[in-house]
């Protein structure tokens, strides 16, 4: 049976992807040819993240992972999106493209062509045209740090990717109002048309493991004992369907277990304490699928 050939991206997405797949998929580092090894019937390769769509279009590969922004930049059409998962190199949030300018900039003049720097020129033109900014613009290809080019007047604005926006502020740039989310870039597993049933099953298993690993980092399990008089529905616990409850040996009490987003932990703990919960336990989650 033919093994599935899967392309991992170089750069920041690669290590995050590996982390979320462990321990089910422990992928070795690549050799000089880019081959990483075979895990669970999948041959893994690590290649240039920007060329993965073209590899899938032109070469003998079955699937790969890249950013949705890089897929748009490539111009390759007809690929199937097997899985889309919101994470970035350092968090369980996708990155976003923003339009920024130096703090205290003089407003652009009507009829002036604004020079906008972007490391992905085709992508930049598409996004700016979609946003219909109301001024003439020219996309200038940039590589490396964009801040000096703005500081020295080579560029008027930059279309850049960020997670929090902190690095932009630290370098004297501000996000233009209304341009905080020009594009949300999620990692996507993509494949050419005509996948075999066996390849599709292996990719489904890989995708489920990836989604499960990403979900685990942003959720916790809370277990506690609650008085029988407690109306769990009125606590508004953020479960995917409903909290799991069960009877205890001690009369007048029942157990409650719920998997919640990590961001809701404080609010939920306060609600449970006020409801009279005892023995509250917070556990990390190895995997989570909603």
Strands ordered across the beta sheet of 187-191 = 35-39, 42-47, 4-9, 63-67, 187-191, 80-84
Predicted structure pTM score: 0.82
In this structure, what token pair is assigned to residue 137?
């613009």
Q: Could you give phi then psi for residue 204, rounded to 5 degrees?
A: -65, -40
Asked if 181 contacts 96 with a C-beta cutoff of 8 angstroms, the reply is yes
User: Is the distance from CB of 81 to CB of 45 less than 8 angstroms?
Assistant: no
pLDDT of residue 250: 86
> Contact, 220 vs 285, CB < 8 A?
yes
Where do the DSSP E strands lie in the chain?
A: 4-9, 35-39, 42-47, 63-67, 80-84, 95-102, 114-118, 137-141, 157-162, 173-175, 183-185, 187-191, 219-227, 244-247, 253-261, 278-284
Q: Tell me, what DSSP letter sits at residue 42?
A: E
- Sites in the chain below the pLDDT cut of 70: 1, 89-91, 104-111, 144-153, 163-165
Q: What is the pLDDT of residue 162?
A: 79
Domains of the chain, earliest start first = 4-91+186-216 (3.40.190.10), 95-185 (3.40.190.10), 219-284 (3.30.70.120)
Going by their DSSP bridges, the two strands 183-185 and 244-247 should be labelled as: unpaired
- Cβ 185 vs Cβ 72: under 8 Å: no
**Predicted pLDDT at 111:** 67
Q: Parallel, antiparallel, or unpaired for β 244-247 and 80-84?
A: unpaired
- What phi and psi, each to the nearest 5 degrees, are found at residue 174? -125, 145
With beta carbons less than 8 A apart as the criterion, state whether 284 and 265 touch: no
Phi/psi of residue 151, nearest 5 degrees: -55, -40
pLDDT of residue 42: 95
Q: Give me the pLDDT at residue 169, please.
A: 76
pLDDT at position 4, please? 93
């Amino acid at each position: 049976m033919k093994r599935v050939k899967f392309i991992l991206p170089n750069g920041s997405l690669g290590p995050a992807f590996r982390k979320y797949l462990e321990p089910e998929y422990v992928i070795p580092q690549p050799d000089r040819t880019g081959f990483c090894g075979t895990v669970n019937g999948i041959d893994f390769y690590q290649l240039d993240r920007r060329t993965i769509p073209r590899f899938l279009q032109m070469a003998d590969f079955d699937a790969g992972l890249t950013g949705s922004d890089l897929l748009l930049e490539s111009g390759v059409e007809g690929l199937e999106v097997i899985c889309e998962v919101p994470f970035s190199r350092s968090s369980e949030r996708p990155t976003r493209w923003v339009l920024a300018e130096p703090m205290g900039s003089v407003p652009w003049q009507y009829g002036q062509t604004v020079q906008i720097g972007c490391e992905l020129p085709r992508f930049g033109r598409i996004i700016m045209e979609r946003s219909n900014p109301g001024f003439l613009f020219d996309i200038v290809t940039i590589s490396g740090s964009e801040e000096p080019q703005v500081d020295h007047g080579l560029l008027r604005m930059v279309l850049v990717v960020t997670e929090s926006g902190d690095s932009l502020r630290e370098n004297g740039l501000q996000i233009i109002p209304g341009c905080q989310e020009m594009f949300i870039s999620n990692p996507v597993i993509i494949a050419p048309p005509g996948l075999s049933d066996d390849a599709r099953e292996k990719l489904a298993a890989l995708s489920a493991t990836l989604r499960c690993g990403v979900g685990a980092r942003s959720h916790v399990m809370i277990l506690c004992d609650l008085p029988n008089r407690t109306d769990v529905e009125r606590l508004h616990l953020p479960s995917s369907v409903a909290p799991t409850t069960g009877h205890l040996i001690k009369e007048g009490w029942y157990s409650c277990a719920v998997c919640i987003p990590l961001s809701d932990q404080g609010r939920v703990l306060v609600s449970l304490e006020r409801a009279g919960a005892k023995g509250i336990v917070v556990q990390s989650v190895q995997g989570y699928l909603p």
